[in-house]
Copies of this chain bind each other. A is one copy, B any other.
């Protein structure tokens, strides 16, 4: 049973082993970072990478009172969101005072007087007392490769729906193994604790002589930056395009609770569907507290292959402290149906 997880991506740039450059992969990484801040003298932090880890680390550093900058080589943060939805995350980062440097490539780290002084991109030098790497991870498959186990998408270990590898008697589970995507109907690689745990349960049952199946994932992920909740599931526009699926989408902004309720919140929901059939393809949500968990409704619908019209009639819980009579998910579905 191979459960070797991931290794963090550390580009071989100059100065990456400087004392002030921190990973964000292990508990030890976290302790070292917290201790460095506690020792004092840290004012400016640069987060390299604008994905989930980068955004979560930016929150942690802002809450510690640091001046935070973020660098990403892509033109947007949160690459698992469509650019229009990622723009709402940029707004939230800016509101919290995070300075963004997008489309800038990390070139290295510069030291002065034996400590980190700056992060170097292809466009500028950013003064930094501390830098955090949030550049993602890759499957840790060296053991599997040496044993001749076949790798699949993203070089994760290829497994069937029983978590079996190509070798009889060898299983794989967790971040080192691939999953099946129930919307694209293709293999995918998701490095998330929730998926890893499900892999482990299925592998364990099967190794123990039982018969369990892991049907697959729909690509759900949630995170939070300060008071902004961020969620996604299913396919995003660029993924649908790659698959050749003719995809329509609508984005709505609404209150989370009944509009007359004190502090009714604000939620933006994008819903994606197949134009020809109305089949739901995915959703992205950015909003105030209480927004993100609505992604679970769409995730469950994706598991079941529901259509946009099915979504309109979902009998979701309604009471003014929880939603409007038409939940924002319903509103998004009603708007999307007009395009089908």
Contacts and interface: CB of A to CB of B under 8 A. Distances in A.
A64 interface: no
A260 to B, nearest CB: 11
B318 A194 contact: yes
A219 interface: yes
A179 B328 CA distance: 23
Contacts of A296: 294, 296-297, 314, 316-317
Interface in A313-340: 313-319, 321-322, 325-327
B314 A300 contact: yes
Contact of A313 (B215, B301, B305, B316): B215
A194 B316 contact: yes
B233 A315 contact: yes
A306 interface: yes
Interface stretch (A2-10, A135-143, A220-228): A220-228
A216 B315 CA distance: 8
A-side interface mostly: mixed
Q: Which size bracket describes the interface of A in this complex?
A: 35 or more
Interface in A212-241: 214-224, 231, 233
A67 interface: no
A304 B303 CA distance: 9
A303 B311 CA distance: 10
A315 B217 contact: yes
A310 interface: yes
Contacts of A220: 315-318
A295 interface: yes
A201 B333 CA distance: 13
B231 A317 contact: yes
Interface string A82-116: 00000000000000000000000000000000000
A317 B193 contact: no
28 contacts: A194-B316, A194-B326, A197-B326, A215-B313, A216-B315, A220-B315, A220-B317, A221-B317, A221-B318, A221-B319, A222-B318, A223-B319, A224-B319, A231-B317, A233-B315, A233-B317, A292-B317, A292-B322, A296-B314, A296-B316, A297-B297, A297-B300, A300-B301, A300-B304, A301-B304, A302-B315, A303-B310, A303-B313
- 9 smallest A-B Cβ distances: which pairs? A304-B304, A222-B317, A194-B318, A300-B300, A193-B325, A220-B315, A217-B315, A218-B315, A197-B325
